[in-house]
Amino acid sequence: MNLSGLFHAAIRLIFLVFIAGGLNACEKNNTENPNPAENDKPYIKLVRSIEYDNGITATMHYNEDSTLKEISYRYGNVLNATIFNWENQRLKELYEDRSLYKNAFHYSESGISYYVNTYKNIQLPSSYKMEYSYDEKERVTALKYYITNEAGTTLKATSTYYYNNAAALEKVETKDATAVYTHVIESYSDTAYFNPLLFIETSLSENYPIFNIPVLSRMKGFPAKIIRKVKIGNEAAYIDKIAENTVLTAGKNISRIINNVTSPGMPGYNKRVVAVFKY
């Protein structure tokens, strides 16, 4: 059983199933961990654990400088962990302890320029790369997903980001060779501080257009309602998933998220998850 996968499955529900270092209150997404007391930063507590009503518990471990060191997962007697390696307070590597793969991060002045997912300890021509573009306000404007194998490097999908007049992300449109996937964020919670590293996965999942560090790090509130639409070829677009999140906070730090996900075409996949954050 992949406990990390179980944990992230619960997280995916919180972020619509598809949809410490640099916190979302920071201006850049370089996953640095500044002192919150400096430069009028808000006071952001360190999450010690997250408990889900499906039986999963995630426990956070930190370095002396408060950067995230490890998240350990427990489901009954099954254990797993995600490891975070840092260099000069920038996230350098991210991986699951039992996985053969790791994510290596590279930076520009705007933040994360790209990251590559490849084998940990062996050299093989098999990897994928996620490359970010930013505007003058250091917001993500595009994300390109490449794969590399024996045949070379191929662009698999491009995501384009749209913001409203309040500078909040309102839509992401992802195009691949056969379909267009549109994530619409209809509303956000009130201001809520959270560490994006608690909500990302170690491997590629269908929620990657929103569920990534540069995008999450700029959110000032938690998505309260997200709709995913799918358009395949010349067919009409249809609503695939709807997520509604009730976010409770204490001092603007998230204390609980109650998430309801509905699948209009497949009601048997409707889900409800409650996550309790402890500091």
Range of the domain at 223: 3-278
Cα separation, 132 vs 140, whole angstroms = 7
Kindly report the average pLDDT of the chain as a whole number.
86
**If pLDDT is split at 50, 70 and 90, which confidence band does 42 have?**
low
Please name which of 216, 234, 249 lies closest in space to residue 31, comparing C-alpha atoms: 216
Q: How many domains is the chain partitioned into structurally? A: 1
Sign of CA dihedral 9, 75, 224, 243: positive
**If pLDDT is split at 50, 70 and 90, which confidence band does 43 have?**
low
Q: What is the pLDDT of residue 199?
A: 86
Model pTM score:
0.83
- In this predicted structure, the answer to whether residue 112 has a pLDDT above a threshold of 80 is yes
Q: What is the pLDDT of residue 253?
A: 94
Q: Are 62 and 69 in contact (CB under 8 A)?
A: yes
Look up the CATH number of the domain holding residue 29. 2.40.160.190
Question: Which residues have C-beta within 8 Å of that of residue 23, sequence separation ≥ 6?
Answer: 33, 44, 193, 194, 195, 196, 217
Q: What is the pLDDT of residues 218-247, one digit of tens each?
A: 999 988 999 999 999 999 999 999 989 999
Cα separation, 249 vs 252, whole angstroms = 5
Least confident range from 10-19, 116-125, 179-188: namely 10-19
> Which residue type sits at 101?
Y
Cα separation, 117 vs 234, whole angstroms = 33
- In this predicted structure, the answer to whether residue 2 has a pLDDT above a threshold of 60 is no
Q: What is the pLDDT of residues 147-196, one digit of tens each?
A: 999 999 999 999 999 999 999 999 999 999 999 999 999 999 999 999 99
